[in-house]
């Protein structure tokens, strides 16, 4: 009898505690401000069409004279690099005295439906690099590419090696033959031509998001909401959660022409490592990559296969290439404590050695 009474009291108290947590959570939500997509200040310095080039405001004296241009993927937004106060990759770079630029690809509309890889790489990226070279009065700059943006960066640097001092690739697919990660599981079998035609040349961001949510391991989707309930009375944890959710669903549309080229030439035909990849009339030959390269990938990456990234050194023309496996996932590279403790310091120290 006494044991039963104890259990009832315990359960009743747990229910009261949960109600308090929920009420505190609602109060935290009402007082929360997550409107700003990034935390570090930046200014617009150049732009064409939908894309914009930003330069981040220095937080300390620049200690490396060579600027870093960050190229993010076309899927989702570059604000992932600067999403959380405590674990912002951008903030950590700025605090180490780096001069950092980033491209915001913007939100394509139907009038952009014929923009292809040639426009992105030989056009927008090349124009951005030239702008920074002119502004800094340097012949070469540093290039840091993320995910698909890393593939773009590798192809760009192979076409214009004379403009790039150091190349950094992060969670970047290079060899598209593996089948052990999210994008690789369906990319080879995707009839992207029909999908593009069905959406009149502009594939909605929601289509891409639905594919990610559907193919992502169910446990990952469920656990994040269980963790959210546990963090209801933690304003900082809830702010981070909502920032992440906002970023996930802030997906620009994909230009059909570019998507077709990327999927067909890389996921399906793996042309980059075969030496058959052309961007416009220019060949993207990885053997032209003779500058120092830092290649970083996630051990637990469910989006870009670690096998796709780890053997980059087999295809390049430089012997000065370092490859590092980080014990985290695709997004954790930028929003986890490992971003602050491992990734940012690694990038900064590597650049310092080659300044």
Residues with catalytic function: 147
CA 273 – CA 159 distance, rounded (Å):
14
Placement of tokens 């109060």 in the chain: 27
H helices within 216-331, ranges in order? 218-230, 235-248, 256-262, 271-274, 306-310
| Residue 268: partners with Cβ closer than 8 Å, 6 or more residues away | 187, 188
Asked whether the CA dihedral 315, 321, 326, 328 is positive or negative, the reply is negative
Placement of tokens 């999927």 in the chain: 263
| Residue 183: partners with Cβ closer than 8 Å, 6 or more residues away | 173, 267, 303, 304, 305
CA 142 – CA 129 distance, rounded (Å):
9
Burial per residue of 249-268, b for 16 or more beta-carbon CB atoms within 10 angstroms, e otherwise: eebbbbbbbbbbbbbbbbbe
Asked whether the CA dihedral 100, 302, 221, 193 is positive or negative, the reply is positive
CA 341 – CA 344 distance, rounded (Å):
7
CA 77 – CA 80 distance, rounded (Å):
6
Placement of tokens 């359960």 in the chain: 11
Q: Hey, how many other C-beta atoms are within 10 angstroms of the C-beta on 241?
A: 19
CA–CA–CA angle 330, 333, 339 (5° rounding): 170
| Residue 173: partners with Cβ closer than 8 Å, 6 or more residues away | 147, 148, 150, 151, 183, 184, 266, 304, 305, 308, 309
């Amino acid at each position: 009898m006494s044991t039963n009474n104890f259990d009832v009291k315990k359960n009743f108290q747990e229910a009261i505690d949960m109600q308090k947590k929920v009420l505190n959570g609602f109060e935290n939500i009402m007082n929360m401000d997550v409107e700003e997509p990034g935390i570090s200040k930046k200014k617009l310095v150049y732009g064409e069409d939908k894309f914009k080039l930003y330069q981040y405001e220095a937080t300390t004296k620049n200690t490396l004279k060579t600027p870093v241009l960050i190229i993010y993927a076309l899927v989702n937004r570059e604000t992932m690099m600067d999403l959380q106060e405590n674990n912002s990759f951008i903030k950590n770079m700025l605090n180490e005295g780096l001069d950092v630029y980033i491209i915001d690809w913007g939100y394509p509309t139907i009038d952009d439906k014929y923009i292809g890889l040639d426009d992105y790489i030989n056009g927008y990226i090349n124009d951005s690099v030239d702008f920074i070279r002119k502004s800094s009065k340097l012949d070469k700059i540093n290039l840091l590419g993320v995910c698909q943006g890393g593939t773009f960066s590798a192809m760009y640097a192979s076409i214009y090696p004379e403009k790039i001092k150091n190349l950094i690739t992060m969670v970047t697919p290079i060899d598209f033959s593996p089948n052990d990660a999210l994008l690789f599981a369906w990319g080879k079998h995707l009839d992207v031509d029909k999908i593009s035609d069905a959406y009149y040349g502009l594939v909605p961001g929601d289509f891409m998001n639905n594919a990610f949510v559907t193919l992502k391991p169910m446990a990952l989707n469920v656990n994040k909401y269980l963790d959210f309930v546990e963090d209801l009375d933690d304003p900082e944890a809830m702010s981070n959660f909502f920032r992440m959710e906002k970023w996930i669903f802030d997906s620009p549309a994909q230009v059909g022409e570019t998507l077709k080229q990327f999927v067909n030439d890389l996921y399906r035909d793996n042309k980059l490592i075969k030496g058959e990849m052309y961007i416009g009339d220019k060949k993207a030959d990885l053997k032209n990559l003779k500058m120092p390269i830092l290649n970083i990938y996630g051990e637990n990456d469910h989006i870009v296969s670690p096998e796709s990234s780890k053997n980059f050194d087999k295809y390049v023309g430089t012997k000065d290439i370092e490859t590092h496996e980080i014990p985290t996932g695709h997004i954790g590279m930028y929003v986890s404590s490992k971003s602050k403790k491992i990734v940012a310091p690694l990038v900064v120290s590597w650049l310092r050695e080659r300044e």
